[in-house]
Chains A and B, each alone.
Chain A
Amino acid sequence: KNEVEQSPQNLTAQEGEFITINCSYSVGISALHWLQQHPGGGIVSLFMLSSGKKKHGRLIATINIQEKHSSLHITASHPRDSAVYICAAPPNIYYGGSQGNLIFGKGTKLSVKP
């Protein structure tokens, strides 16, 4: 069982729809990353959050550390949002240094149709 689970694996939406992608994790963490990967392969960091909610434009990320669950929401979705969205977590807070050994979910492939 993967320590970081995402759902759904694939998501197709119509332009303008509200999107929710979920991430559950079994590892003990103090923060979680949401990443976006476009077909070319490059990964962009969207959010890193350890509590509550963060918002950037049409993207909103929430996390509940106690329930070990995070969600990524996209409001007013657009075809350019089509990408793979990945959540990732460092496995142990008692790790000296930066988060090199992130554990990644398998990703959610989002397609937004015009």
Chain B
Amino acid sequence: DAGVTQSPTHLIKTRGQQVTLRCSPKSGHDTVSWYQQALGQGPQFIFQYYEEEERQRGNFPDRFSGHQFPNYSSELNVNALLLGDSALYLCASSPRTGTVRTLNTEAFFGQGTRLTVV
């Protein structure tokens, strides 16, 4: 089992460009969450996808969008890149428990994509 895989590992983009990051969840997981981690900070929740729809969203502008495919893999798109978008982007997958109370499942994280905007 490859676990959670993200691509690419590193990326350099110019301000104003668009970028697409990819994530394949761990086998058996159908829920993908994306996080942005600025240098020296803890990760911040961007959004979560399951059943091919965005289910929850953190405090990020509409320039951040995503997609989930039928095979549960996911993409994070960022438009009109700003210098402040430079960060490590982490993907986490988990199985959706499907009930309100049993939300506590172990999260599996990818290695992240290091995005640098110049």
**Pair A104/B107 contact, Cβ less than 8 Å:** no
**Pair A44/B48 contact, Cβ less than 8 Å:** no
Is A11 an interface residue when CB atoms closer than 8 A count as contact? no
**Pair A45/B44 contact, Cβ less than 8 Å:** no
Stretch at the interface among B15-23, B77-85, B89-97: B89-97
Is B88 an interface residue when CB atoms closer than 8 A count as contact? yes
- Given the complex of chains A and B, what is the CA–CA distance between A66 and B83 in angstroms? 42
- Given the complex of chains A and B, what is the CA–CA distance between A108 and B58 in angstroms? 23
- Given the complex of chains A and B, what is the CA–CA distance between A96 and B104 in angstroms? 10
- Given the complex of chains A and B, what is the CA–CA distance between A15 and B115 in angstroms? 34
Interface size class of B (residues with CB under 8 A): 35 or more
Is B86 an interface residue when CB atoms closer than 8 A count as contact? no
Total interface residues on A, using CB and 8 Å?
Answer: 32
**Pair B31/A97 contact, Cβ less than 8 Å:** yes
Contact with A along B4-41 (1 / 0, CB 8 A): 00000000000000000000000000010101010011
Point out residues on A near B: beta carbons under 8 Å: 2, 4, 30-31, 33, 35, 40-45, 48, 50, 86, 88, 90, 93-107
Point out residues on B near A: beta carbons under 8 Å: 31, 33, 35, 37, 40-45, 47-48, 50, 55-56, 58, 88, 90, 92, 94-101, 103-112, 114
